[in-house]
Structure 1
Amino acid sequence: MGDLTVEEAILKLKDDDVEVRKEAIKNLYGVKDESVINPLIEATTDENTNVRFKAAQILGTFGDVAVDKLIDKFNSATGSDKRYLIFALKETHSPKTIDALVSAVDDEDPNVRKTAIRGLGALQARDKMDYIASGLNDDDWGVRLYSIYALGDLATPESIALIKQARRKEKDKDFKKSCNKTIKKAEKVMKAGGKLQPTSKAKPMKDIKVLEKEDLEAAAREYEVYVNEKSTSQAPYKRLCILYRKLNKYDDEVRILNIAIELFSKLNPGKEEWFQKRLDKLTN
Structure 2
Amino acid sequence: MSETVHTETRGNVLVITIDRPEAKNAINREAAEGIAAALDRLDAEDELRVGILTGAGGTFCSGMDLKGFLRGESPFVEGRGFGGLTERKPAKPLIAAVEGYALAGGLELMIACDMVVAHSGAKLGIPEAKRGLAAAAGGLMLLPDQIPHKVAMELALTGDFIDAARGYELGLINRVTDGSALDGAMELAQAIAANGPLAVRISKQIIEESRGWSPDERWERQGQLTPQVFASEDAREGAAAFAEKRQPEWKGR
Q: What's the TM-score bracket when you normalise by the shorter of the two chains?
A: 0.3 to 0.5
More strand by share: 2
More helix by share: 1
Larger gyration radius, structure 1 or structure 2:
1
With the length of structure 1 as denominator, give the TM-score of the two structures: 0.31
Q: RCO greater where, 1 or 2, for CA within 8 Å and sep 6 or more?
A: 2
With the length of structure 2 as denominator, give the TM-score of the two structures: 0.34
